[in-house]
Amino acid sequence: MPAAPSAAPDSATDVVLVVDFGAQYAQLIARRVREARVYSEIVPSTMPVAEMLAKNPRAIILSGGPSSVYAEGAPTLDRSLFEAGVPVFGMCYGFQLMATMLGGTVDDNGAREYGRTPLTVTKNGSTLFEGTPAEQSVWMSHGDACSAAPEGFTVTASTDVVPVAAFENDEKKLYGVQYHPEVMHSTHGQQVLEHFLYRGAGIEPTWTTSNVVEEQIAVIRQQVGSKRAICALSGGVDSAVAAALVQKAIGSQLTCVYVDHGLMRKGETEQVEKDFVAATGVQLKVVDASERFLSALAGVSDPEQKRKIIGREFIRVFEQAQAEIVAEGAADGEDVAFLVQGTLYPDVVESGGGTGTANIKSHHNVGGLPEDIEFQLVEPLRKLFKDEVRMVGQELGLPEEIVQRQPFPGPGLGIRIVGEVTRERLDLLREADAIAREELTEAGLDREIWQCPVVLLADVRSVGVQGDGRTYGHPIVLRPVSSEDAMTADWSRLPYETLAKISTRITNEVADVNRVVLDVTSKPPGTIEWE
């Protein structure tokens, strides 16, 4: 079972550090380490080596990155890292940095490799490649290449154009590969990573979701103390698991607040009030704020502005709920000082919270929060990926219909309307979304796709023919995607019969829609949501 840590384990000696050199791959590496049932933390490459070593890591992994080791201002590390006796595994940029710092040769010899590349293992039975084929496919992404390994290292793999695609030094427990073993396209990448962890570093795979629950309960209790907390409950798996985890930690000190902002899908409010409360017994306060949100969004079409408005209004509503909870005497003399959110790792990364990463878009609960927020945030899932959150939910005993629910963005349908958000457009999109969800469930496809955003191109109209007459209606976009963690995604190849049923029902049953189109863009270059 993959691991899902979000707090440091009891013993710091169980930590594997992933040093981030500015690529989103660092997040994926951390995820793969957890899948190997080993706890991992990401640290920036700017962290002094002394601070890294002070964490007593069992091993250190150097991530890839966009820089050349010879570029001015390229990230680097103090050489003492390689002399500390801690096992180190360099990947791509991390591999080249290790090679140059230890006396190897890395140069720009024109040996560029991008994408799937055949790799030849030149030393069978090595620590990294034991039990893997002599010929295997790996994912390359580099311009510079290593032409000579440092002294004391054995070259264990090569490609047609790169003589040193992997090297190993068992005596010093230093290892490196030119490619990205963390991506799925490297066919034996996870096995190579696990060989480093288990064989090279000697770590036992003992990390489980039970550890996550136990440790987060302790962290939450210490953070909240005797004060009260409210939770931003949306009905999605993230906020549901966060709420269940915090309730297990502090019990009646938690009140969940469900904001009906008018941007939810059809039947959403009823599901939250019935299913989640029945499953957890949590105290729930429902706030009808639809008029407030729609008024704030009136005339706004820019997606970033919409996200920030929704984030701002969320906080203002919670501040109002806080005052009401205290006034009703529910606080038992203690202040409501904490706001629980189901923030995940991809939210943080895409909002520029990952070390060295770009701000792709502001998530309502990260980059969209107002600066004058009065609450202290409790984010027990902040370092978890979606599948890890689901496992924690299962560990907490939440029902499958909640744990396995497809992701839905906090800003709701507000970011699935390309253009201004109005009540009429929301009603239209709600009906189209409900039809798509019904047909996907009927076809048994809920578990086969990550999610299927349904998008209304509100500012676009196209000519159609309905009822023997000319129409001028809106297009609806179907965006079914397959993914493991939302960091990358591909469009789902749904059966034509299912797509035809969805299209026919939407154009027949939803007024002002005369066209349904399919988004076949992967991520990257596109994001999963349109806004």
Alpha carbons within 13 A on the beta-carbon side of 135: 2
Q: Distance of CA 369 to CAs 12, 170, 373, Å?
A: 32, 48, 7
Give the DSSP H or E segment for 476. Answer: strand 469-478
Residues 6+ apart with CB under 8 A from 65: 21, 22, 23, 45, 75, 92, 93, 94, 356
Q: Is 231 a catalytic residue?
A: no
Q: Given the residues 35, 41, 168, 182, select the one marked as catalytic.
A: 182
3-class secondary structure, 459? coil
- Give the E-state strand segments of 143-272 in sequence order: 145-148, 154-158, 166-169, 174-177, 228-233, 254-260
Q: Given the residues 180, 363, 364, 474, select the one marked as catalytic.
A: 180
* Contact (Cβ atoms closer than 8 angstroms) between residue 437 and residue 445: no
Q: What is the DSSP letter of 144?
A: S
Residue 484 neighbours by CB distance under 10 Å: 15
Q: Is 431 a catalytic residue?
A: no
DSSP string, 41-78: EEEETTS-HHHHHHT--SEEEE---SS-TTSTT-----
Q: How many helices (H) and strands (E) does the chain have?
A: 15, 22
Q: Distance of CA 27 to CAs 42, 250, 260, 263, Å?
A: 7, 30, 33, 31
Q: Given the residues 41, 92, 350, 395, select the one marked as catalytic.
A: 92
H helical segments located in 85-208: 93-101, 189-195
Strand bridging mode 113-121 / 135-142: antiparallel
Q: What residue has token string 């919270």?
A: 353
What amino acid is encoded at 138 in this protein?
V
Q: Is 146 a catalytic residue?
A: no
Six-digit token string for 228 = 């009260």
Q: Which positions are annotated as active-site residues? A: 92, 180, 182
